Structure 1
Amino acid sequence: MRYFFEDYSFDTEKRELRRRSEIVPTTPQVFDLLEYLIRNRDRVVSKDDLVTSIWNGRAISDAALTTRLNAARTAIGDSGGEQRLIKTLPRKGLRFVGSVSEVPEPIYGAVTDGSVESPEASLALPDKPSLAVLPFANLSLDPDQDYFADGMVEDIITGLSRSKSLFVIARQSTFTYKGKATDVQKVGRELGVRYVLEGSVRKEGNRVRISGQLIDATTGLHLWADRFDSQLEDVFDLQDRVACSVIGAISPRVERAEIERAKRKPTESLTAYDYYLRALSCNYRNTRAGNDEGLKLIKVASSIDPEFAATYALGANLHAQRKACGWSIDPALERAEASQLANRAIELDRDDPLVLAMVGDALAYVLGKVEEGTDLILRAIELDPNHANARLWGGWAHLWLGDGDAAVQQFQDMLRLSPLDPRAYSAHSGLGFAHFFAGRHDDALASATIAIRLQPSFLGAHYIRTASHAMSGRLEDAQAACAALMQLSPALCVSLIERRPRPFRKADVEKLTQAFRIAGMPD
């Protein structure tokens, strides 16, 4: 079990206490004392309880117990005078009063740049056959063809994820292994899958070759390997052959309809497809320059093939990224462009989950058409239950509609489908909002704390940390959290939040602003 509170992580399996990334030395008895208090934080623990559990009933003096208690407080930055985390109740006992996030499965390590460290324990295997597709090696003579190899893998993942008989890990998690030497069995444990597909792509002139091998990650045994060759103009058929071969190897009795669902030919133009893959690569760079370049490439791709629905959907999604990251220059113009792209995409294809999910997010977030956008996202999830992005966007959309329970479920599903996702901070922030609006302030704080650990500059997580402290009556902590928030956004004030057009319901915004006033945010 791993517990998180403030800047600390407490791992009972490794018997490690860490502050951020640094190990805090503790003696065995001090560690046991902390573990007992944290595990039993829902009640007051008596001296007899401690003696029975930690010292096996042996007699221990009050002075010795006080020494261990002081050492425990020192280890977690507390003191007998402050009693911020461990509170002494005279003549009754002790209680751990800090807000704790309890994580029975892997959680992401401390980071400062938004990336996510690999979890160290195993995730439980899903009930259905589970698969991760690792980035394929680019064996082309031109290293700049990485985007093409990556695009091939992404489309194979997309095809496989449409099979409702499989559990397929999202691209955002598997691509964290790109360029690294990997132990397939370790990957299986980290991602919680039974099967791992790895391989290579070679593109030379008008020829493409994909080589792949399927491995049982629980045993390390190779189950299947093959090589697929085709002309470049048959690249979609090539992807289909890989996806269908993998499905057949994993689930030989799967219905033919499941295999057919994996097949899709998005465009007749290889040139348009190439520009689409370049734009997709720009999207994953998650930079302003990448966003600008991606939108330009989208215009080129759509001019070559005006019927290529995914191109328009990706363009709408790039506008959502633009708004989320604060890169907008002319919001009114960009909303109009996003609307045009979204409408054209959905006009061309209402059955592609990729199109539905990207358009749904743009409608809900950029254009404020939350109900319409949510319907499209839910339709995408119905068609592709493995679509982690749709789960993330669906979580936020449900949150904006005021359906907190549905939002929590979608965020949790996203985190399982993509355990190493660089945007996990967004899901944890969303969980924080959902818990806060439901009045679960300690749960909200725990989620916000994880989100800030993953992405220290994400404002939404700081909102919830500040608001949760305020509504829980921890005024000093609320003021400190508010100061940290204001340092990130100096112009922030309550009236600005009230005036700013946001997808949240008015009642939910009022809950936030009430908390911000308590925390000392200026009007």
Structure 2
Amino acid sequence: MLKERRVTILQPVVRAHGGRIVKVMGDGVLLEFPSAVNAMSGAIELQRKMQDANAATPEARRIVLRIGINLGDVVIDGGDVYGDGVNIAARLQSLAEPGAIYVSAAIRDQVKRKLALGFDDLGQKSLKNIAEEVHVYRVFYEPGATKDHADKPELPLPARPSIAVLPFTNLSGEAEYDVFTDGLTEDLITDLSRNPGLFVIARHSTFAYKGKSVDVRSIARELGVRYIVEGSARRAAGRVRINVQLIDAVGGDHLWAERFDRNLEDIFGVQDEVTDKIVEALVGRLAESPSRNRPKSLEAYDLCVRGRSLVSAFNSSPEALREAEILLNQAVSIDPEYAEALRWLAFVYWQLWAQSIDPTEENRSRALELARQAVALDENDAANHWFMGFLWANEKRWPESDEEFAAAFTLEPNNADALAVWSEIAALAGRASEAIEMIQRALRLNPHPAGWYYWQLGFAHYAARQYEEAVRILRMEAIYRSPSRRILAASLAQLGRRDEAMREAALFMAMTPKFTITHWASAQPARDPETVQRFIEGYRMAGLPE
């Protein structure tokens, strides 16, 4: 395995950055590069490619690198190099955590204005056999990062206690229980998000780290939080064992850890207990929030968790929606009063109608009826309210929509999806500045979001007549190859870039051949005719059909 990685990953990366392999030393290797920038760029690419390779490898066989980089004089002896310059790099490597890159101040000073990176100042360090202390920095880079995230600044810590719940590890030995374990994580995030005293990172961002060997301190910095929750679950023979720990990623302390051994039927009680103990550790004992509706059947819960895992909000394939429809209908047939399953089923039927997969009036009315049932059965679930509010907006029943969104934000102020959806409704009500603020708040709660967040951000900037910014956002890799191209085409047209606009419009129509401006305008949850007219104007200038 190690030899294969040297041939397939190490050697091509070193060549691509103008370096050379000086020597191999057991499981270590000494590399030389012509500049500090080459060395840093090569090190980051090497870490990313190793992590990509590890993602498809069993954990016990993964190879995780520690990298140290230094700039200094060396002695050349034939093909070998040695001296303090080499020794310092070796000592930095031994200091680094798995997956990390540590550099000397000399390297940091050379690259800080040339590469979009952040650095954690670790201070002066005494290194073995090195006469003087060395100023050491840890490099901030995102494992597997795309160009969309590479230049993001470090996020400041919120005033409230801030927390991210990492995906729990499935220790059951059965891949089928991965969804169950993910469901435990998602439910814990939802329950913590209901507490107004906490700042809670959304599920999509924390699940970006699933299966990756990344130091919790790095994760906390990337997400802009102080506290991290890690856990594992083992499910077997009607019982479940859950291990949970709460970590202060800034101070390095373990604030709380506990193991729960329970009958599987007690799983929802365990979820409540874990939530209460985390909240108590961070903000003290508070008045209990009203509980969400819990399923009466564990089988129904399993089916709902599997169904919701197939439905990526506003971005689901027809096949995933159809499979989710089957699973969620089964969950509801087992437990007809399971509000969350009813809500997700409503979402599926609305998507089938809205995405023109099966645009029947029956699916539209089904979605409305099931969403109403979900709210009636569980008024304490914020997601039931914001989805109902979204449907009322599409029905142009504004007072009911506003009321449902207000209820959602009261119950769960950390709900990033609700903020993102509300931003579009605000933009179409003529409140573009508020829309931008809303989606930016959503992105702070969800720093690694689903692509549709960027769609909403581009939409809001277009509504605000900020066309250059809309173009920049809508050309990001996370969203570019999607139906959002119609907004990109309109933005380019507004800027007078007609050829680019018409090209994007043609690419959009190839994906969405039934689109017409008239149908789009009639279907929008819009209160402000002037904003709708601005979009229509851009679509016409880009050559989209009436």
TM-score, normalized by length of structure 2?
0.68
Which of 357, 360, 365 is residue 386 of structure 2 equivalent to?
A: 357
1:471 corresponds in structure 2 to 494
Counterparts of 1:60-99 in structure 2, within 5 Å, are none
Over residues 214-240 of structure 1, what are the superposed CA-to-partner deviations in whole Å (9 max), with x where a residue is unaligned?
112224332221111221221111011
Contact 1:364 1:370 in 2 (8 A): yes
Identical residues among aligned pairs (%): 36
Match of 2:19 in 1: none
Q: Deviations over 1:353-399 (max 9, x none)?
A: 1221233334434x554553343123211211111111112112223
The answer to whether the aligner puts 1:397 opposite 2:425 as a matched pair is: yes
Distance between the aligned counterparts of 1:491 and 1:352, measured in 2?
A: 36
Q: Secondary structure at the match of 1:386?
A: coil
* Residue of structure 2 equivalent to 1:217: 249
Distance 1:405 1:206 in 2: 52
In the other structure, the counterpart of 2:129 is none
Which residue pairs with 2:443 in the alignment? 415
Aligned with 1:442 (options 451, 459, 468): 468
Report SS of the residue matched to 2:340: helix
Answer yes or no: is the 8 Å Cα contact 1:207–1:232 preserved in 2. yes
Contact 2:162 2:199 in 1 (8 A): yes
CA deviation profile, 1:167-217 (whole Å, cap 9, x unmatched): 010111111111111210110011110011111011112211110111122
Mapped to 2, the partners of 1:120 and 1:472 lie a distance apart of 26
- Summarize the Cα distance change of 1:256–1:140 in structure 2 as closer, same or farther, 3 Å threshold: same
Partner Cα separation in structure 2 for residue 476 and residue 389 of structure 1: 35
Deviations along 1:124-183, one digit per CA (max 9) or x if unpaired, are 111111000000011113220111111111111111111111101011111111111121
Q: Which amino acid counterpart does residue 199 of structure 1 have in structure 2?
A: G
Query: What is the CA–CA distance in structure 2 between the aligned matches of 1:182 and 1:262, rounded to whole Å?
Result: 36
1:213–1:119 distance in 2 versus 1, CA, 3 Å: farther
The question of 1:125 aligning with 2:128 is answered no
Task: Give the Cα–Cα distance (whole angstroms) in 1 for the partners of residues 339 and 171 of structure 2.
Answer: 30
Unaligned runs of at least 5 residues, structure 2: 1-36, 46-140
Q: Which amino acid aligns with 1:344?
A: Q
**What whole-Å deviation, never above 9, does each CA across 1:86-139 have from its counterpart, x for those lacking one?**
xxxxxxxxxxxxxxxxxxx99x9547xxxx867765211111110000000111
Residue 79 of structure 1: aligned partner: none
2:169 is the alignment partner of 1:137: yes
Counterpart residue number, 1:336 = 365
Local SS of the residue matching 2:225: coil
8 A contact 1:159–1:261 mirrored in 2: no
Letter aligned with residue 505 of structure 2: C
CA 1:458–1:371 in 2, change beyond 3 Å: closer, same or farther?
farther
Alignment of 1:502 onto 2:524? yes
2:237 and 2:149 map into 1 onto residues whose CA distance is 38
Distance in 2 (CA, whole Å) between partners of 1:281 and 1:355 is 17
Please state if 1:160 is matched with 2:192. Answer: yes
Higher relative contact order (CA 8 A, sep 6+): 1
Question: Which residue of the partner structure matches residue 306 of structure 1?
Answer: 336
Deviation at 1:458, TM superposition (A): 1.9
- Cα distance in 2 for partners of 1:181, 1:268 equals 37
Inter-partner Cα distance in structure 2 for 1:410 and 1:156: 24
For 1:308 and 1:131, how far apart are their aligned partners in 2?
Answer: 29
Q: 1:181 to 1:322 in 2, by over 3 A?
A: farther
In structure 1, which of residues 255, 277, 281 is the aligned counterpart of residue 309 of structure 2?
A: 281
Closer/same/farther in 2, CA of residues 494 and 342 from structure 1, 3 Å limit: closer
Paired residue type of 1:266: R
SS at match of 1:125: coil
Q: How much has 1:296 moved relative to structure 2?
A: 1.6
Given the alignment of the two structures, is residue 430 of structure 1 paired with residue 456 of structure 2, yes or no? Answer: yes
Question: Residue in 2 aligned with 1:347?
Answer: 376
Q: 1:399 to 1:120 in 2, by over 3 A?
A: closer
Q: Secondary structure of the residue that 1:209 maps to in structure 2?
A: strand
Separation in structure 2 between the aligned mates of residue 383 and residue 497 of structure 1, nearest angstrom: 33
Cα deviation for residue 330 of structure 1 reads 3.9
Task: Give the Cα–Cα distance (whole angstroms) in 2 for the partners of residues 333 and 200 of structure 1.
Answer: 42
Give the alignment's TM-score, normalised by structure 1. Answer: 0.71
Matched, 1:458 2:482: yes
- Secondary structure of the residue that 2:311 maps to in structure 1? helix
| Inter-partner Cα distance in structure 1 for 2:305 and 2:542 | 46
Query: What is the CA–CA distance in structure 1 between the aligned matches of 2:262 and 2:337, rounded to whole Å?
Result: 25
**Counterpart pick for 1:245 among 277, 300, 305:** 277
Q: Residues 110 and 369 of structure 1: is their aligned pair in 2 closer, same or farther, counting only changes over 3 Å?
A: farther
Matched, 1:290 2:320: yes
- Return 354-363 or 136-145, whichever deviates more: 354-363
1:146 is aligned with what amino acid?
Answer: D
Alpha-carbon spacing, 1:125–1:132, altered in 2? closer, same or farther (3 Å): same
Q: 1:190 to 1:322 in 2, by over 3 A?
A: farther
Number of residue pairs matched by the alignment:
409
What pairs with 1:261-280 in structure 2 (closer than 5 Å)? Answer: 261=289, 263-280=291-308
Aligned to 1:97: none
Alignment partners' CA distance in 2, 1:522 and 1:320: 25
Distance in structure 2 (CA, Å) of the matches to 1:360 and 1:495: 24
8 Å CA contact 1:377, 1:393 repeated in 2: no
Query: CA separation in 1, counterparts of 2:536 and 2:492?
Result: 13
Aligned counterparts of 2:529 and 2:357: Cα–Cα separation in 1: 25
Quick one: structure 1 residues 362 and 317, their matched pair in 2 at CA, closer, same or farther if it must change by over 3 Å?
farther
Corresponding residue number in structure 2 for 1:485: 508
Q: Cα distance 1:482–1:301, how it changes in 2: closer, same or farther (>3 A)?
A: closer
- CA distance in 2 between partners of 1:502 and 1:159 (Å): 32
Change (3 A) 1:315 1:125: same
Q: Per-residue displacement from partner, 1:248-268 (whole Å, max 9, x unpaired)? A: 2222xx3421xx227545233
